[in-house]
Structure 1
Amino acid sequence: MTHPARPRTTACLAVCAALAITVTVLGCSRDDDGLPAGQPSLDLRTLPSGLRWIAFNNMQLPVARQGPAADKGAVVSGFEQSPVGAALAAIHATVRMSVALDSQWPAVTAAMLAPGPGRDEWAVLRTQISITETASGERPRIAGYRVERYTPETTEVSIYTRQTDSSLTRNATTVAWQSGDWKLRIPYQPAISAVTAIETMPAEAVALTPA
């Protein structure tokens, strides 16, 4: 059965939350700056350079010199292999998979999500709902992010979103460097919800200026 488009009160990442998209906590040694023990220090709080905003299905998404470099509509690519590039990739992939229409989500899934059982499970669950129209009206806004742990191969990113009721949520994500770009890793049958309500962004977070 085809369901109508979600109302405008639907929060950003609602599809992910409804389908229980969550994060896997990686158990490895790390320093206080979020780097694996022994890795040279790297500033995880570097700001995106040349920040601007683009719209995708009525959601505003950040674009910077660190990515994305290529825009094909539903799918974007070309993120820098750096903490900023990883964070921008995590934001784009998470939001795009959440608000993509029925005609868009297969391309987003194939190009921006890391292959694996988590992605396969997500695709099966996504076929069980239908989003045929872009929601209008006020939408949630990406408020910032924090790179929790960075390596050139795998990066954990917290995404902070200001909802339409002014509440703030944190979405825990992981991206992996594959085939020359960052791909969002979807955990398979996770047990911990990725989206949680919080009071304020931490001081270490990178705040993104509204569009």
Structure 2
Amino acid sequence: MRRVTESGAVDDRPFWQQRGWQLSAAFLVLVLCSGVVTAVARISGSEVDNRQRPVAGPLAAGVASGQSRPEGCRTDDADQDPPRKAPADVKWQNLNGAKVPLSASAGPVRRSGPVLWCFAHTPLGAVMAANVIPRHMSGADWETVTVQQVVAGTDRDVFVARRSSMPAVSAQYTASSLAGFMLVEYGPEKATVRLLIRQAATLYVRTDYTVVWDGGDWKLRPYEGGELHSQVTEVAGNGGFVMWTV
């Protein structure tokens, strides 16, 4: 993958060595790795891929005829106002080196294996999905979660191919943390959520995720080229964001 730098030069390095992609990957896992990845494992067509294949789950095949949600998923979807504060019932759970928020009212309210699912069909439910689903992508269950909680299509296929090429990394992390969120756009079928990430005492970055209502739950919709989120950008502060309290 070739990239033109701000000075006009062409960056011919592999995508995993380019700074923009590294920033995106670092954000994706919500951690800063203690080492630098210098090689990518390659699997030839003649070799057998022994990775465990994704298992079927409640969101893989959508909903049964006549149902609006997968079996066992029920939420209160009455509150359609944009959230002005974090839900009061949030509990934080460690997931792949970072803490994620869980809400009994907004979701996820169900768990099937590694998949945290059943988000409220509300603006706050969309926010929760954008905060929770991406955190799986740094762990061993990323494929299973991708099958069930990332919208199928060419862009998902590109993401899977790129993610599969990443070697295992030692789990020695300096955890970044979810600091806040902003609902950029909302509709019953699609929402854009901007996340604020604290990477140091005074350093914040932000990026956007798009979620769509698909198969009776919120799922991530990849951007063109297989990215799960928009460009990661440093920001000076937290103005305009709803802040989490941990």
The letter for the 2-side match of 1:117 is: T
Q: CA shift at 1:188, angstroms?
A: 2.0
Residue 171 of structure 1: CA displacement? Answer: 1.2
Q: Aligned pair 1:119/2:159, yes or no?
A: no
Question: For each residue in 1:5-29, what CA deviation from the matched residue of structure 2 results, as whole angstroms up to 9, or x when unmatched?
Answer: xxxxx844259xx9xxxxxxxxxxx
In the alignment, the residues of structure 2 paired with residue 49 and residue 118 of structure 1 have an alpha-carbon distance, to the nearest angstrom, of: 36
SS at match of 1:138: strand
Would you say the 8 A contact 1:173–1:194 is kept in 2?
A: no
User: What secondary structure is seen at the aligned counterpart in 2 of 1:147?
Assistant: strand
Q: Could you say which structure has the larger radius of gyration?
A: 2
Contact 1:12/1:95 (8 A) holds in 2: no
- Tell me what 1:173 maps to: 209
Aligned to 1:199: 236
The equivalent position to 1:153 in structure 2, one of 152, 167, 189, is 189
* Cα separation, 2, equivalents of 1:193 and 1:84: 20
Please list every run of 5 or more consecutive structure 1 residues that lacks an aligned counterpart in the other structure: 1-9, 19-40
Look up the equivalent residue of 1:63 and give its one-letter code. Answer: L
Runs of at least 4 residues off by over 4 Å: 190-193
Count of aligned pairs: 172
Q: Is the 8 A contact 2:156 2:226 kept in 1?
A: no
What is residue 80 of structure 1 aligned with on the other side? Answer: 120
Secondary structure of the corresponding residue to residue 52 of structure 1 = strand
How far 1:57 moved relative to its partner? 1.5
1:105 paired to 2:142:
yes
Q: In 1, distance between residues paired with 2:149 and 2:156?
A: 10
Q: Distance in 1 between matches of 2:26 and 2:109?
A: 27
Q: Distance in 1 between matches of 2:199 and 2:207?
A: 12
Question: Within 1, Cα distance between the matches of 2:200 and 2:206?
Answer: 15
- Any idea what SS the aligned residue of 2:107 has? coil
**2:96/2:135 contact within 8 Å kept:** no
**Change in 2 beyond 3 A, CA 1:174/1:14:** same
Structure 2, gaps ≥5 residues long: 1-24, 31-36, 38-79
- Structure 1 length as normaliser, TM-score? 0.73
| Per-residue deviation, 1:165 | 6.3
**What is the RMSD of the two structures over their aligned residues, measured on CA atoms?**
2.5
**Percentage of identical aligned residues:** 28
